[in-house]
Amino acid sequence: MKELFKEILGVENVYGAVYVESDGKIAFQDFSVALTKPIESVDWSFLVTTFPEAREFTLVYEMRRIYVRRASTGFIVVLMGLVAPISMVRLNCESLLPALEKQGQAGAAQGKGFMRFFKRK
């Protein structure tokens, strides 16, 4: 998964990224800065309930920005500085979406057990 996020994490002034699945489970996290509290303690359900129709949004704080991009299988959350090139972050998130969807479909197919070998007519 780290290979998928390599381009986003390589953008100047990007401090980290998290991929949160639809059920709130963290599938990936990587930060180049120290966090004040563990990322696992965050209640990620607020993303779904607060912004149910938003495809993407940016939260701006005093010295940081948080960019959130909805994927079909969860959310990409990118922590960055105020001067990070948001267009590069958006472009890299867009290119990452198909790979995340493909992984999500592969995981769903594995969950069907023995029945995945048979086709329905």
pLDDT-derived band at 49, boundaries 50, 70, 90: confident
For 54-112, how does the pLDDT look when each residue is reduced to its tens digit (9 = 90+)?
A: 899 999 998 899 999 998 888 999 999 999 999 999 999 999 999 888 876 665 555 45
pLDDT for the residue numbered 103: 77
Bridge partners (DSSP) listed for residue 80: 14, 65
List the helix and strand counts (H, then E) for the chain. Answer: 3, 5
For 73-85, how does the pLDDT look when each residue is reduced to its tens digit (9 = 90+)?
A: 889 999 999 999 9
